[in-house]
Structure 1
Amino acid sequence: MENITEKELSGIEDSLTMEQNLIAKYQMYASICADPQVKSKCEQMAAKHQNHFDKLLSCL
């Protein structure tokens, strides 16, 4: 793999931070949600963003 530039690294770091925030938000929403369907959707969204985070992290 080629070396990544400072600008690319910064972009990946920003994206990692955004994905972490989304994971935390959806996990929090799922924890306080009373509706099972909405809770399930929030858990799915948290898992989706965790997958994004893991893929970004593998770029480093």
Structure 2
Amino acid sequence: MAEWTAAELKGISDGLRAEALLIVKFRHYAQQTADPTVRGLCEQLAAQHRRHYETLLQTFTRGE
């Protein structure tokens, strides 16, 4: 496993936190809207940010 600097750890941590917040927000927006087009877009965006979150987490846990 790679040794992470404090700045790298903070950057990954901040990124994970930001992506998690976006997932929650877009899921909430999808639930709140009555417009099926907007709902679909919000669900797609939540899924996209979930993939970003998972990528960051995998990078961190693999030590790359």
TM-score normalised over the length of structure 2: 0.88
1:30 shift after superposition: 0.2
1:4 shift after superposition: 1.6
SS in 2 for 1:25: helix
Alignment coverage as a number of residue pairs: 60
Whose relative contact order is higher, 1 or 2, with alpha carbons under 8 Å and at least 6 apart? 2
Alignment root-mean-square deviation, CA: 0.9
**TM-score normalised by the chain length of structure 1:** 0.94
**Ranges in structure 1 where 5+ consecutive residues have no aligned partner:** none
Structure 2 unpaired stretches of 5+: none
Q: Which runs of 4+ in 1 moved over 3 A?
A: none
Partner Cα separation in structure 1 for residue 53 and residue 40 of structure 2: 20
Identity of aligned residues (%): 45
Task: Kindly state the Cα deviation for residue 6 of structure 1 after the two structures are TM-superposed.
Answer: 1.2
